[in-house]
């Protein structure tokens, strides 16, 4: 590990030097990549330095234990060393994960897709709640979000919304959100006070770059049409909406949120590229089921990974059989306790 850390410190200096050059500053994409790399390398170096300090403190305490005659001082040194050893083990584990991430996609930005499932209008409202939850969580993490495509329901929810989240190690935290989410609550439209159950599906795709997934022009068909809103009403007087069909598989992506046809095309290509990369990686891993079906499911109530139960003020993740309370704070973006628990569990079992 010492040789590896020596190389990391050297790489950190090289990246820092590269960032100071004018050509990197004026190339936004290059600057962003270098900044993310610098941040990760810096985190590794800082954890290594903290680990060395703890090891030095433990050694100093051991000298007190071996030589000091004052029993009270010896007991304090033993107590402190016990706490430091726990912290040292935690740091070693964190450092090992940073040096050898289990998932090569962990550092990537993501594209998230949320779709209303079973439950009618309430499912669309729940889809909007989930989008707000992830947007707030991203804001808390100092990540950036941007809507790529959306389709609103008649009463203000979402039939579908596709958005990107960019920042540091986004996929490592968001990948556990893929699956069917279920909500149990009394809708505002329910006059009799009955508890209603509805679902929304979430897919999390590591964002692919052009160099990772090349799409040939002859493999796609691009259709241009007029944007429409809830109920089919026209929301744009020009033909700016774009639908791209990937001919080898029939996979289609539509974008109509922007007034510019070029911007809609760019966003659609971005989504298509990430979907194809997700499928390609699954083939390499020789998984039995299609990744997007595994992530999205059908929206049926039985295919759930998490339930948001309002009457009992409880959020339950069924994969790890654990519940958390304060449902309003969770839906307000306070996902840290859930995400951190799932990340810890993923090191023990493959979720």
Residue 78 in any domain: the answer is yes
Ranges in the chain, pLDDT < 50: 232, 234, 287-294, 296, 298, 300-301, 351
Please report, for the domain that includes residue 189, its CATH number. 3.30.70.1660
Residue 104 in any domain: the answer is no
Of 249, 264, 285, the last residue of a domain is 285
Same-domain status, 19 and 88? yes
The 3-class secondary structure across the chain, one letter per residue, is CHHHHHHHHHHHHHHHHHHCCHHHHHCHHHHHHHHHHHHHHHHHHHHHHHHHHHHHHHHHHHHHHHHCCCHHHHHHHHHHHHHHHHHHHHHHHHHHHHHCCCCCCCCCCEEEEEEECCCCHHHHHHHHHHHHHHHHHHHHCCCEEEEEEEEECCCCCEEEEEEEEECCCHHHHHHHHCEEEEEEECCCCCCCCCCEEEEEEEEEEECCCCCCCCCCHHHEEEEEECCECHHHCECCCCCCEEEEEECCCCEEEEECCCCCHHHHHHHHHHHHHHHHHHHHHHHHHCCCCCHHHHHHCCCCCCCEEEEEECCCCEEEECCCCEEEECHHHHHCCCCHHHHHHHHHHHCCCCC
pLDDT score for 292: 44
pLDDT score for 26: 76
Of 46, 73, 99, the last residue of a domain is 99
How many Å apart are CA 333 and CA 273, to the nearest integer? 28
Same-domain status, 141 and 272? no
Same-domain status, 123 and 184? yes
Same-domain status, 13 and 93? yes
Of 80, 99, 118, the last residue of a domain is 99
Residue 156 in any domain: the answer is yes
Structural domain tally of the chain?
3
pLDDT score for 259: 82
Same-domain status, 179 and 322? yes
Please report, for the domain that includes residue 248, its CATH number. 3.30.160.20
How many Å apart are CA 300 and CA 282, to the nearest integer? 24
pLDDT score for 230: 56
pLDDT in tens, 241-270: 898 999 988 899 988 888 888 888 888 888
Same-domain status, 74 and 137? no
Same-domain status, 144 and 196? yes
pLDDT score for 6: 85
**What is the end-to-end Cα distance of the chain in Å, rounded?**
28
Q: Are 136 and 142 in contact (CB under 8 A)?
A: no
Burial 53-92 (b: 16+ CB within 10 A, else e): ebeebbeebeebeeeeeeeeebeebeeebeebeeebeebe
Q: Are 242 and 261 in contact (CB under 8 A)?
A: yes
Same-domain status, 198 and 119? yes
Same-domain status, 188 and 303? yes
Residue 351 in any domain: the answer is no
Residue 307, domain extent: 110-207+293-346
Residue 299 in any domain: the answer is yes
Residue 331 in any domain: the answer is yes
Same-domain status, 62 and 31? yes
Residue 95 in any domain: the answer is yes
Same-domain status, 221 and 203? no
pLDDT score for 349: 56
Same-domain status, 138 and 203? yes
Place of tokens 């069917």: 180
How many Å apart are CA 318 and CA 338, to the nearest integer? 12
Residue 314 in any domain: the answer is yes
């Amino acid at each position: 590990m010492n040789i590896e850390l020596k190389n990391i410190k050297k790489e950190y200096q090289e990246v820092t030097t590269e960032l100071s050059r004018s050509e990197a500053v004026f190339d936004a994409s290059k600057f962003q990549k270098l900044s993310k790399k610098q941040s990760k390398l810096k985190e590794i170096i800082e954890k290594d330095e903290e680990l060395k300090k703890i090891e030095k403190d433990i050694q100093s305490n051991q000298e007190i234990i071996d030589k000091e005659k004052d029993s009270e001082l010896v007991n304090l040194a033993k107590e402190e060393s016990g706490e430091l050893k726990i912290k040292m083990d935690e740091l070693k584990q964190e450092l090992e994960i940073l040096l050898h991430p289990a998932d090569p996609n962990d550092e990537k930005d993501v594209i998230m897709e949320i779709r209303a499932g079973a439950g009618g209008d309430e499912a669309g409202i729940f889809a909007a709640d989930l989008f707000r939850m992830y947007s707030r969580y991203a804001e808390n993490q100092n990540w950036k979000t941007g809507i790529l495509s959306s389709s609103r329901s008649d009463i203000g929810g979402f039939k579908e919304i596709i958005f990107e989240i960019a920042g540091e190690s986004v996929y490592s935290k968001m990948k556990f959100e893929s699956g069917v989410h279920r909500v149990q609550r009394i809708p505002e439209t329910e006059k009799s006070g009955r508890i209603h159950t509805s679902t929304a599906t979430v897919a999390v795709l590591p964002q692919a770059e052009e160099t990772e997934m090349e799409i040939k022009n002859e493999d796609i068909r691009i259709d241009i049409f007029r944007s429409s809103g809830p109920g089919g009403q026209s929301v744009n007087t020009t033909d700016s909406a774009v639908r791209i069909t990937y001919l080898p598989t029939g996979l289609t992506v539509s974008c109509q949120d922007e007034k510019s046809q070029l911007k809609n095309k760019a966003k659609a290509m971005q989504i298509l590229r990430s979907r194809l990369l997700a499928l390609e990686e699954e083939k390499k891993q020789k998984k039995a089921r299609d990744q997007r079906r595994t992530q999205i499911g059908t929206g049926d109530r039985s295919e759930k990974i998490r339930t948001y139960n309002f009457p009992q003020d409880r959020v339950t993740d069924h994969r790890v059989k654990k519940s958390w309370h304060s449902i309003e704070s969770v839906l307000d973006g306070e996902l840290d306790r859930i995400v951190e628990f799932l990340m810890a569990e993923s090191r023990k079992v493959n979720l």
